[in-house]
Amino acid sequence: MVNLQDPVFRTAIWEVYNRKCYYCKELIQEFTNFHIDHIIYKAIIQNEPNKFEELKKKLNLSPNFDINDIINLVPSHIKCNRDKWDKVLEIETYLHHFSITKDKVILIKKKMIEIGKKFENFEKEALNEYFLLQEQSSEILIPNLKVIEEIMEIWSEISPSENDVLGFIVLEKFNEIFLKKSISDEEFPIIKKFIEFAPKIIFNTDGNLNLDIIHILYLLTPAKKAKHLLNKKIIPDIIEIYNSGNRDKEIIKFLFYCGVLEDLFSLMIKASDEKNLDFVRFLKDEYYNLISKKDEKHKIIQNRKEIIKNLTKKKHELGIIENPSSEVKEIIERLNEIIRNIMKLE
């Protein structure tokens, strides 16, 4: 039995299955954005307990078999997992799956030990000191320079392909630390050092952006001083990648909050043109964040007529597509939702 949220386990199973979805065999691009699927679905224990006991007997599984045993777990795209969801499979299908996953169990356990050893110093040396400092003073909102240096030193010693698990750990630890709207004079050199180091770890071995590192940098965008540094040191390279057609959510979010993309409604039209549903969903959520701010809401009301005209035109263009995909249909729904909401704004 394992903890499905443990970054060491997630990295191990991801690596052992060659970073591919077990079902469709396509690459899983984002380390932090994939599901661990249960071959015997997880809710069977509550939904069909008798069926679960029957399956264990038919599959010659131990009476103590746990639904979170490694043999029952595979990496999966979110969509592929949802397609399978709570299905009870044929016995022959279960036997086929387990014949594959059985051989992976030892490999995953070995990989977990290997990864755990590499990162135990990170936990002990870097973070323990920070947490001790935080206990001593509630004013310490980010690690001191020594801790940042230790983190970067560890990062420098590992291969780029291992950035994923370390990025995941840092993201978990720093999520609440970096989300600030101002940086003190004392903190600024620390943040500066981190941003200047980031380009060394921002790309994976395959040349793609490490989206976990992008998300960590995104957490700095509320602070003006940090945003200025990001615009100088990081943004130009990422804009180039965005302009080449990369629409990963973390990249869009990062650039959007750095204020280097077009206004929200122009982006919504661009995303609709590209038929990029994830992009449209992100912008829809940002629209609701925007109208929660009085000044931004007032700007939208002032330009309401033009905004509705442009969104309606795009909606109609999509509406005349023959045999539209499910993505196009949902984009039309999202545009309709926003148009209706804008009309009601007061």
- The residue-averaged pLDDT of 60-86 equals 85
Look at residue 74 and tell me whether its pLDDT is greater than 90.
yes
Look at residue 133 and tell me whether its pLDDT is greater than 70.
no
pTM value? 0.53
Question: Is there a contact between 171 and 215 (Cβ–Cβ < 8 Å)?
Answer: yes
Main-chain phi, psi angles of 232, to 5 degrees = -85, -40
Which pLDDT band, with edges at 50, 70 and 90, does 140 fall under?
A: very low
Look at residue 130 and tell me whether its pLDDT is greater than 50.
no
pLDDT of residue 306: 93
Question: 30 Cβ partners below 8 Å, 6+ apart?
Answer: 211, 248, 250
pLDDT of residue 70: 93
Question: What digits encode the pLDDT tens for the residues 168-199?
Answer: 555 555 555 555 566 777 777 777 888 888 88
Question: What digits encode the pLDDT tens for the residues 273-314?
Answer: 988 888 888 888 888 888 888 888 899 999 999 999 999 999
Question: What digits encode the pLDDT tens for the residues 191-245?
Answer: 788 888 888 777 765 666 777 777 778 877 877 888 888 888 888 888 888 888 8
Please give, one letter per residue, the 3-state secondary structure of the chain. Answer: CCCCCCHHHHHHHHHHCCCECCCCCCECCCCCCCEEEECCCCCHHHHCHHHHHHHHHHCCCCCCCCCCCHHHEEEECHHHHHHHCCCCCCHHHHHHHHHHHHHHHHHHHHHHHHHHHHHHHHHHHHHHHHHHHHHHCCCCCCCCHHHHHHHHHHHHHCCHHHHHHHHHHHHHHHHHHHCCCCCCCCCHHHHHHHHHHHHHCCECCCCCECHHHHHHHHCCCCCHHHHHHHHHHCHHHHHHHHHCCCCCHHHHHHHHHCCCCCCHHHHHHHHHHCCCHHHHHHHHHHHHHHHCCHHHHHHHHHCHHHHHHHHHHHHHHHHCCCCCCHHHHHHHHHHHHHHHHHHHCC
Please indicate whether residue 169 or residue 334 has the higher confidence score (pLDDT): 334
Burial of 318 (0-12, 13-18, 19+ CB in 10 A): middle
Look at residue 146 and tell me whether its pLDDT is greater than 60.
no
